[in-house]
Amino acid sequence: MNKLANKRTVTLIVGIAVTAFCVWFFVKGIEWGALRQSLLGVRWGPIGVAVALGLLSNVIRAVRWGYLMRPIQPVPLSSLLSATFIGFMTIGVLPGRVGEIIRPWVLCEKEKVRFAPTFATIVVERIFDTLAIVAMLIVVLVLL
């Protein structure tokens, strides 16, 4: 077995071990009967709607990012979607909005685009988001 295959095997084994430990750590104190009772009382309709809207939101973000990326290099929607989902999942898991850096990095690794202009599209997105929020605030204040 060559060094690269050996390293991948070790990485996979360590990853599985860490995942197994984390799963054990988080489920060891669960009272399964109480969890089952709680889940039986859940109204699944609103949860399904919330999940669908969350997915739609990320798809719209990926499409918007695609428009911003087009002058730099056209990128397939599938690559934009995977980078978007990974980036926003990272924002939810790690502190400091690290996912804003992870998202362009994932796209650069997948599509071989340059990082600096790709990261600049993220900055432009945030500027547009801020302007949209300010515009909505002004409309609300005027209507009050």
Quote the strand ranges of 36-105, DSSP E: none
How many angstroms separate the most distant Cα atoms in the chain?
A: 71
Predicted local distance difference test score (pLDDT) of residue 96: 86
8-state DSSP, 113: -
Angle between helices 44-69 and 77-93 (to 10 degrees): 120
For residue 96, is it left (φ>0), alpha (ψ between -120 and 50) or beta? left
pLDDT tier for residue 1 given thresholds of 50, 70 and 90: low
28-78 pLDDT, tens digit each: 989 999 999 999 989 999 999 999 999 999 999 999 999 999 999 999 999
The pTM of this model reads: 0.74
